[in-house]
Amino acid sequence: MDLFDGEDHGARVALSDGAWVLRGFARDPAEAVLAEIAGIASAAAPRHLLVPGGKRMSVAMTNAGSLGWVSDTRGYRYEACDPQSGQPWPEIGPTMMSLARAAADSAGYAQFAPDACLCNFYEPGARMSLHRDFDEGDLSAPIVSISLGLPATFLWGGHARADRARRIRLAHGDVVVWGGASRLVYHGVAPLADGEHPATGRMRYNLTFRKAR
Ligand code: SIN
Ligand code: FE2
């Protein structure tokens, strides 16, 4: 038995107005998506970015697409080239791209055309504090988030940072889509519990697709 296989595969759970968890939506193509992530990581190595306050993020990040999200002591922004190499970011893989579009479609956001994919690499203990995805030029497009590997506790808050956050378990193959009235909801990830996943070992991968321009 695969302990990481959710029994609710195929379920669609409403988080808030315009926000959905699509259980297991990415499970079947997961292997192909993981291969695409490996290709992206070999072209643009994941790194621990500094936040404007100077702290190093516990999640390692890289990007695919015509724009990539970066952070340093000067602030957050999207850039067309990887500051580490000076080269354009690698392309978004075809399997992950069609999956992201299908997930958006199934959550009611037709014609999603992301130009940026932030690739997050979580080792045990890595976390992401509550934040809003606010740096995109097109806030009418949703965010599509694909989770692979070790399960995480996703924090789903409200429109104010102090709003109480719900704790949602995200397992291998789960996809979250948020847009519309929920596009600027505060969200984050609790420190990743240690474990061993059959597909990824001691790692969680998260991809967020955005329309940055
Ligand atoms: C993010 O908000 O960029 C990441 C969310 C996640 O890792 O599930
Ligand atoms: Fe985010």
> Is the separation of the CB atoms in 19 and 156 below 8 Å?
yes
- Domain presence at residue 4: no
Nearest CA to ligand 1 atom 7: 206
Q: Which two tokens stand for residue 161?
A: 């940072």
Strand 152-156's sheet: what is its strand order? 128-131, 187-189, 152-156, 166-170
What is the residue whose two structure tokens read 């990581």?
Answer: 41
In the chain, the number of structural domains is: 1
> Is the separation of the CB atoms in 52 and 74 below 8 Å?
yes
Determine the 3-state secondary structure of 101 from DSSP. helix
- Domain presence at residue 6: no
pTM of the model: 0.96
List all residues whose CB is within 6 A of at least one atom of ligand 1: 118, 120, 128, 145, 147, 154, 187, 189, 206, 208
Q: Which two tokens stand for residue 150?
A: 């070790």
Task: Report the separation in Å between the CA atom of 1 and the middle of ligand 2, taken as the mean of its atom positions.
Answer: 32
Domain of residue 184, CATH code: 2.60.120.590
Terminal CA-CA length for the chain: 44
Q: What confidence category does residue 139 fall into, taking pLDDT thresholds of 50, 70 and 90?
A: very high
pLDDT at 124: 98
Q: Using one digit for the tens of pLDDT, what is the confidence trace for 73-118?
A: 999 999 999 999 999 999 999 999 999 999 999 999 999 999 999 9
CA separation for the pair 38, 59 (Å, rounded): 16
Ligand 1 nearest atom to the CA of residue 206, by list position: 7
Domain hosting 202: range is: 12-210
- Domain presence at residue 204: yes
Q: What confidence category does residue 2 fall into, taking pLDDT thresholds of 50, 70 and 90?
A: very low
Backbone angles phi, psi at 123, to 5 degrees: -100, 165
> Is the separation of the CB atoms in 180 and 119 below 8 Å?
no
Q: What is the mean pLDDT of residues 113-129?
A: 98
- Domain presence at residue 178: yes
